[in-house]
Amino acid sequence: MDEPHNNFTKKWFLAAPALAAALGLGAAIHRADAARIASVSPQGKVAQVRQVVAKFDEPMIAFGNAATAAPGKLVCSGAPASATSGSGRWIDATTWAFDFEHDLPPGARCALDLADGLKSVAGNALAGPRHFAFQTGGPFVTRVMPSYGDIEENQVFVLCLNGPATQASVLEHVWCESDALGNRIPVRAVDDATRATLLRHFRLEKESDRVLTLACQQTLPSATKMQLVYGAGVTGPGGIANDVERRFDFMVREPFTASFSCERENAKAPCTPLRALRLTFSAPVSRADAQKFVLRGPKGMASSHFDPSDKDAEASAVEFAAPPLPEHADLTIEAPASLKDVSGRTLANADLFPLKTATAPMPPLAKFSSGSFGIIERFAEPNMTAMLPVTLRRVEADLHVQGLDSGTSQITKLKLDADTDIRQWMRAVDQFDGIAMSRSMISQRMPEMLNNGITPVVIPNSDGTVAKDPQIDIRSLSMLAKRPGVETLRLPAADPKALRPFEVVGIPLTKPGFYVVELSSPALGASLVGKHQAMYVRTSVLVTNLGVHFKQGREKSRMGHDA
């Protein structure tokens, strides 16, 4: 009976260590022998250091006694004492930290040596490593200016470092690269006057010993990508070198050029005389130079136009503005001699001047003064028929104007629904007071416009393709074609062989009521729609004999009404 008992006892003792480990008791057994440090941070080479932290695997101070002495001594070299000053503290019973007053400069070497005889609260002596060291490495870039955007061909860069760097190592290990050039471009330190200006501008005078002001030794090609490379090997005064390369990407600005633009009926047409001619510069020029541009034409010379309220000393554009420029005229724009931008660059496309251009005849125009809706007083003028004014220019003399009159028998028979009809038409005219609308939307709002025999003008995509649900130029569609109750209105007589001059014409509306009026013109279509078919212009008006007037005077006011 004793033998089985003895075997069981032996097996239990043999399995005890494994069982203890499985239950997490191994660490407890180990800590009974000695305390150990769990981690120290930082170690090795670290670029930026502001704090040193040591963590132990068991309490090293009594709870709440944060004033206990440091567990060891932290010593730094390779940097001034003022740059490595700071203070230590216990964060909790197992964590001690040393906070530097400032980020350590490059080239600093520090070591934390734990004290001999250091014991935990439980009285366990510290075992394991006691010496931990780190260094901050060579100088590295904390900020670069400019940091984004286009740069100049001879750009000066301002680099802020975390500490001083020797000029010899900077000139050897910092360089420029351009996509347009296959070789490295060395950098140069800028002159003292430029450096002083930059330090003052960026308020860096107090930290000038760790600020670099550099430029590429070669002018960079315009409109190309470039990189400023801060390479490995830049060293501080202590001789420790940076070992991390950094690249800063930039885009060199476009060359200084001038471009001309004007409003045209189409890409191949001359400039419309109703809008200004405009020169735009890729870089600003002085206001004085901008004012020297002149426009020569059949009526003599005109100076460039500037807003009197604009007091800026620089200008990015020049305009020769209406009142209307002479129509059907040859014009020339002359630039001042030796034009330069504010950076001193000459005009890359100076051969553009003198720039010759021409104006077209006045474009066709048909415009209702009422917009999409207006109110006309029937008896605004005694013994006069109510008139809907429309402005016309260079449209057909035999212009057709059609109107849908809510006062006709067809609509007045639906008197209870008349207000509903008026609201629907007002909304429809307002919705179609634009340029483009999808075919599906037109079909949803007013399908009759797609089924009255008029071919719609389809607006293609930017790549020339046509969408499944294409955009339609709604000016090419009629709202009133083939509708019952539509009557043709007559305009004052004009020479049928000539286009109408610029004039305001009154369309007579003899009866009170709500009208939808539509005007069609092939001349407008050819000019604005781009097709040899009519363009439609429409409005809605309410002709009423009820009017309310308010007259305000210095002594009294009066309100009245007409009926």
pLDDT tens profile 303-336: 887 777 777 889 999 999 866 788 889 999 999 9
Average pLDDT rounded to a whole number, residues 345-370: 88
Give the contacts of 300 (CB within 8 A, at least 6 positions apart).
none
Residue 28: band (very low, low, confident or very high) from pLDDT cuts 50, 70, 90? very low
Instruction: Tell me which residue of 533, 561, 534, 532 sits closest to 545, measured CA to CA.
Output: 561
| Amino acid present at 562 | D
pLDDT at 190: 95
Question: Is 558 part of a structural domain of the chain?
Answer: no
**pLDDT tens digits for range 222-236:** 999 999 999 999 998
pLDDT at 558: 65
pLDDT at 493: 55
**376, 351 Cβ separation under 8 angstroms:** no
Residue 105: band (very low, low, confident or very high) from pLDDT cuts 50, 70, 90? confident
Say yes or no: 414 and 506 in one domain: yes
Q: Answer with the residue of higher pLDDT: 146 or 364.
A: 146
Average pLDDT rounded to a whole number, residues 79-103: 90
Say yes or no: 385 and 531 in one domain: yes
φ and ψ at residue 409, rounded to 5 degrees? -65, -30
Question: Is 53 part of a structural domain of the chain?
Answer: yes
Average pLDDT rounded to a whole number, residues 242-251: 92
pLDDT at 292: 92
Q: Answer with the residue of higher pLDDT: 9 or 491.
A: 491
How many helices (H) and strands (E) in the chain?
9, 37
Say yes or no: 382 and 526 in one domain: yes
pLDDT at 374: 86
| Amino acid present at 346 | T
pLDDT at 227: 94
**CA–CA distance, 379 with 363 (Å, rounded to integer):** 35
Question: Is 21 part of a structural domain of the chain?
Answer: no
Kindly report the length of the chain.
563
Residue 400: band (very low, low, confident or very high) from pLDDT cuts 50, 70, 90? low
CB-based burial, 1-26: b 16+ in 10 Å, e otherwise? eeeeeeeeeeeeeeeeeeeeeeeeee
pLDDT at 161: 93
Reply yes or no: is the peptide bond before residue 456 cis, omega within 30 of 0: no
Instruction: Tell me which residue of 540, 548, 538 sits closest to 509, measured CA to CA.
Output: 540
Q: Which two tokens stand for residue 244?
A: 């991390």
Question: Is 553 part of a structural domain of the chain?
Answer: no
pLDDT at 170: 96
* H-helix or E-strand spanning residue 443: helix 439-445
pLDDT at 547: 65
* pLDDT greater than 90 at residue 155: yes
pLDDT at 527: 75
Q: Answer with the residue of higher pLDDT: 326 or 1.
A: 326
pLDDT at 491: 62
Domain boundary (292, 324, 358) is at: 358
Q: Answer with the residue of higher pLDDT: 90 or 406.
A: 90
Say yes or no: 398 and 526 in one domain: yes
Residue 504: band (very low, low, confident or very high) from pLDDT cuts 50, 70, 90? confident
**pLDDT tens digits for range 465-478:** 888 999 999 988 98
pLDDT at 29: 43
| Amino acid present at 273 | P
Question: Is 395 part of a structural domain of the chain?
Answer: yes
Q: Answer with the residue of higher pLDDT: 428 or 550.
A: 428
Say yes or no: 115 and 162 in one domain: no
Residue 16: band (very low, low, confident or very high) from pLDDT cuts 50, 70, 90? very low
Q: Answer with the residue of higher pLDDT: 400 or 376.
A: 376
Say yes or no: 385 and 529 in one domain: yes
Question: Is 559 part of a structural domain of the chain?
Answer: no
Question: Is 115 part of a structural domain of the chain?
Answer: yes
**543, 378 Cβ separation under 8 angstroms:** yes
Say yes or no: 495 and 407 in one domain: yes
Query: What is the tally of structural domains in the chain?
Result: 4
pLDDT at 20: 40
Question: Is 14 part of a structural domain of the chain?
Answer: no
**pLDDT tens digits for range 112-151:** 999 998 999 989 999 889 999 998 888 989 999 998 889 9
Q: Characterize the bridge pairing of strands 131-135 and 150-151.
A: unpaired
Domain boundary (358, 378, 397) is at: 358
* pLDDT greater than 60 at residue 377: yes
* pLDDT greater than 50 at residue 15: no
DSSP string, 142-205: EEEES-SSEE-TT-EEEEEESS---HHHHHHHEEEEETT-SS-EEEEEPPHHHHHHHHHHTT-G
pTM of the model: 0.56
| Dihedral class, residue 371 (left if φ above 0, else alpha if ψ from -120 to 50, else beta) | left
Q: What percent of the chain has pLDDT over 70?
A: 85
Chain-wide mean pLDDT for the chain? 83
* pLDDT greater than 70 at residue 561: no
**334, 353 Cβ separation under 8 angstroms:** yes
User: Could you tell me the residue range of the domain that residue 272 belongs to?
Assistant: 258-358
pLDDT at 168: 95
pLDDT at 497: 54
CATH of the domain at 75: 2.60.40.3710
CATH of the domain at 153: 2.60.40.1220
Domain boundary (252, 270, 305) is at: 252
Say yes or no: 272 and 392 in one domain: no
Say yes or no: 380 and 340 in one domain: no
Lowest-confidence pick of 93-102, 412-421, 452-461, 536-545: 412-421
Average pLDDT rounded to a whole number, residues 547-557: 70
Say yes or no: 514 and 430 in one domain: yes
Say yes or no: 352 and 376 in one domain: no
pLDDT at 82: 83
**CA–CA distance, 138 with 469 (Å, rounded to integer):** 63
CATH of the domain at 307: 2.60.40
Instruction: Tell me which residue of 432, 463, 467, 462 sits closest to 447, measured CA to CA.
Output: 432
Say yes or no: 298 and 181 in one domain: no
* pLDDT greater than 50 at residue 61: yes
